[in-house]
């Protein structure tokens, strides 16, 4: 598997732009996969700089309905005329974050997006060989969820309600007996997501990439250090190797790193990662 980080909060070199967002370009299972599009067209500019041909993407996956993961959808549709976009239908509802002054700021996707290339997914959904999506429901929320979720709301025909993140989904890539779990922001809680993976597969993933939402951008607040250390111990015991980014936050990442050592690392825009999936003889 080859992963190129097209959009992230930080950049690893001057010619690569950064923004509050996430986008990954993945080559695996004989497919070119775009996972999220960042907040704007920056992912496309970085893709060109990094030699990632977005027009050849076979599949696009949107992890959830926030602008920092789907703000570049229109740019992608302009570049690529063939790839289906796999998304939860509720991701197209209106999503808001409450600012420190009490104002509800719109953080959802562009409501005018054409839907003809959208494929609406269910709780579990097979894209094709080696590519599967899964979401969490209320019954999967036994473990901790990010405290930053408290300021996030969804608006539908019944009015505003606390966001339950039923619009969030995770991608699993399986190749040559190795599994990679991709989570956009892990609003449902990275521990809950790992537990759901274990429930579905009977094992934990070999590798995982994603944001853990341990930093709330709207309030510029980090998760409680004791809670982060509890998460770190759980993740370390899973045996999975992690790369994190985006909404994990730098302070929380350092806490995770202090516990997990070489089992976790950070990704920035411009990074390129190769994961060995060749079968051992």
DSSP 114: -
- Would you say residue 277 has pLDDT above 80? no
pLDDT score for 216 = 86
- Would you say residue 199 has pLDDT above 70? yes
Closest CA to 149 of 112, 95, 198, 225: 95
Give phi and psi for 31, each to the nearest 5.
-125, 155
Residue 18 to residue 153: CA distance in whole angstroms? 26
Contact 4, 25 (CB under 8 A): yes
Helix (H) or strand (E) holding 128: strand 124-128
Pick the range with the lowest mean pLDDT from 20-29, 169-178, 211-220. 211-220
Q: What is the CA radius of gyration of the chain?
A: 17
pLDDT score for 281 = 41
**Cα 168 from chain centroid?**
9
Angle, in degrees to the nearest 10, between helices 225-238 and 250-260: 50
Q: Render pLDDT for 200-249 as a digit per residue (tens, 0 to 9).
A: 999 999 999 999 999 988 777 899 999 999 999 999 999 999 999 999 99
Contact 37, 23 (CB under 8 A): yes
Q: Confidence class of residue 279 from pLDDT cuts 50, 70 and 90?
A: low
Where helices occur in 85-243 by DSSP H, the ranges are 190-201, 225-238
Tell me what percent of the residues of the chain surpass a pLDDT of 70.
99
Q: Which residue has the higher pLDDT, 251 or 216?
A: 251
Contact 20, 68 (CB under 8 A): yes
Range 140-154 burial, b when 16+ CB lie within 10 A, else e: beebbbbbbbebbbb
pTM (whole model) above 0.85: yes
DSSP bridge partners of 27? 2, 32
E-assigned strands of 139-224?
A: 152-156, 159-162, 170-175, 178-183, 207-210, 215-216, 221-222
Q: Confidence class of residue 78 from pLDDT cuts 50, 70 and 90?
A: very high
Three-state DSSP state, 164: coil
- Would you say residue 141 has pLDDT above 90? no
Residues 6+ apart with CB under 8 A from 54: 25, 34, 44, 47, 76, 79, 80
């Amino acid at each position: 598997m080859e992963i190129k980080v097209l959009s992230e909060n930080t950049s690893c070199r001057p010619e690569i732009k950064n923004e509050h967002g996430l986008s990954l370009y993945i080559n695996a299972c004989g497919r070119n996969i775009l996972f999220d599009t960042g907040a704007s067209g920056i992912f496309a500019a970085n893709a060109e700089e990094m030699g990632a041909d977005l027009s050849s993407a076979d599949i696009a996956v949107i992890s959830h309905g926030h602008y920092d993961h789907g703000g570049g959808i229109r740019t992608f549709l302009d570049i690529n005329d063939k790839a289906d976009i796999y998304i939860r239908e509720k991701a197209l509802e209106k999503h808001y974050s409450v600012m420190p002054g009490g104002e509800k700021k719109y953080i959802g996707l562009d409501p005018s997006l054409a839907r003809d290339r959208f494929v609406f997914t269910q709780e579990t959904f097979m894209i094709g060989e080696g590519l599967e999506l899964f979401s969490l429901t209320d019954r999967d929320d036994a473990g901790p969820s990010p405290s930053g979720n408290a300021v996030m709301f969804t608006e539908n025909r019944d009015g505003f309600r606390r966001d339950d993140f039923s619009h969030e989904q995770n991608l699993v890539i399986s190749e040559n007996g190795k599994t990679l779990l991709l989570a956009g922001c892990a609003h449902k809680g990275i521990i809950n997501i790992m537990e759901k993976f274990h429930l579905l597969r009977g094992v934990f993933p070999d590798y995982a990439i994603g944001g853990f939402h341990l930093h709330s951008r709207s309030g510029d607040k980090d998760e409680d250090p004791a809670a982060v250390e509890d998460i770190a111990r759980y993740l370390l015991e899973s045996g999975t190797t992690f790369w994190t980014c985006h909404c994990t936050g730098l302070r929380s990442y350092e806490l995770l790193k202090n516990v997990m050592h070489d089992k976790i690392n950070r990704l920035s825009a411009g990074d390129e990662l190769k994961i060995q999936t060749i079968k051992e003889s």
